[in-house]
Amino acid sequence: MKKAVPLVASMHGALARESYYEYRGLEPGLTREEYEKRPIWSYFRRMEQLAVHAADLILVSSKWIGQVVGGHGVTPDRIHIQPYGVNLKEYEAKALLPSPLKRVKVRSSSCMQDALNTLREFTS
């Protein structure tokens, strides 16, 4: 018998809520209560619910989106915050290590030289 593979979902936004602001841009007087009566809101909300309830583990980038996911009835133990970004200290240490890049022939050496000069200016 095959071992079950967990489904991990990564939630990047609140589709139903964000779509309200898109519609409000088209209809400035639209209230959230009016929008939530529309079929499109129900559709987006249902898509969010199906996605989070199907997942065994849900990755989110912030506490806020974690709260949005939790609003769909997902237990907190299934929601894990993985913030966007880079650990700069770790990145800088690795960036200084020699790179195994291969030399490649470039059509325009002046283009390559411009890119290298820009890189030098940026890093100095």
| pLDDT one-digit tens code per residue, 27-72 | 999 999 999 999 999 999 999 999 999 999 999 999 999 999 999 9
Per the model's pLDDT, the better-predicted residue between 115 and 76 turns out to be: 76
What are the two backbone dihedrals, phi and then psi, of residue 90, each rounded to the nearest 5 degrees?
-65, -40
**What's the gap between Cα 104 and its chain centre?**
33
- The mean pLDDT value of the chain amounts to 85
| Residues whose CB falls within 8 Å of the CB of residue 51, separated by 6 or more in sequence, listed in order | 9, 11
Report pLDDT for 102: 47
Predicted structure pTM score: 0.62
% of the chain residues with pLDDT over 90: 55
pLDDT tier for residue 89 given thresholds of 50, 70 and 90: confident
Report pLDDT for 104: 53
Report pLDDT for 8: 93
Distance in angstroms (rounded) separating the CA atoms of residues 91 and 96: 9
Beta carbons of 106 and 112 less than 8 angstroms apart: yes
